[in-house]
Amino acid sequence: MAILLVAEMREGEVRHATYPAITAAKQLAETVGTDFDILVLGKGSQAGAEKLKDFGAKNVWWSEAEPVAEYTAEAYAQVTADLIKDKGHTAALAPATTTGKDLMPRLAALLDAGMVSDAIGFEKGDEGVVYIRPMYAGNALARVVIDTPVHVLTVREAAFDAATPGGNGAAVAELPVSLDPAVLKARFVEYQLSKSERPELTEAKVVISAGRGVKDAEGLKLIEQLADLLGAAIGASRAVVDEGLLPNDLQVGQTGKIVAPDLYFACGISGAIQHVAGMKDAKVIVAINKDEEAPIFEVADYGLVDDLFKAVPKLIEKIQQARS
């Protein structure tokens, strides 16, 4: 069962989500007793391949050819499918990012393959590999067996530690791409990325999340002040996004981003299961809520029953005093 990891690139850089996915690929390879390879596509992929060659893969392929210079699901899926068929890979995985969730279902369709999304672990069973994935906002775990010749999956970034270099260097080679751009039905036009001096939500070591308790834009300013003081990313519950206080790309939860920072502040968040599903893997969870019965305290490592409009300014003051 040869394994292929599809790395994620953007604007010439290997995305952070690739490194937890490498850990997942290693674990899957160890489970079935095989090696894994890496595919890097897009501008800057040659440099990206050189960067990834020391992470334990057997082979690293790259291509900056015109059809895959910028990401489109159509082109990437076709090139990846051709490589899998040529090299005989029987499993392909990618991080469960927006890109991974866009690409891998299309790849599965091209390969007529069964697919598992958001895998968080692997086991060896009587029928082959058993893929473990969360269901019902993380309240249940499904164990899934794929019975097609090729397995396709996305892996949850928060469930795996980021890989570090180690092992023998992989063989690095350019992948020939024969795909004609003229036959593609979609083409890349431009990136429209939100620019912020704060860390990206899914990559931040500290996340400060705002819930319904912030009430309005004035309350949100407290959260922003605390986040800037700690060099943290800002997250939000569904209620805050629905109110238009923060954009939906900052939503944490089952229908938003899945995060696992070193430190997670839940400010004015009740702790509905849909939100908890997106942050319960944080190493340390701090909850501030004036309702002592709020479900968020059930998952918090530290809980403060207080009005956030009183507690957060005091916390900011204490941090400033400690730093001075």
Residue 196 within any structural domain of the chain: no
Same domain, 51 and 170: yes
Same domain, 158 and 19: yes
Residue 200 within any structural domain of the chain: no
- Say if residue 9's pLDDT is above 80: yes
Domain count, the chain: 2
Give mean pLDDT, residues 81-106. 96
What residues form DSSP beta bridges with 233?
207
Provide the domain limits for residue 288. Answer: 206-323
Residue 210 within any structural domain of the chain: yes
User: Mind listing the pLDDT tens digit for each residue in 161-186?
Assistant: 999 998 778 999 999 998 988 888 98
| pTM: predicted TM-score of the whole model, two decimal places | 0.88
Same domain, 138 and 226: no
- Say if residue 221's pLDDT is above 90: yes
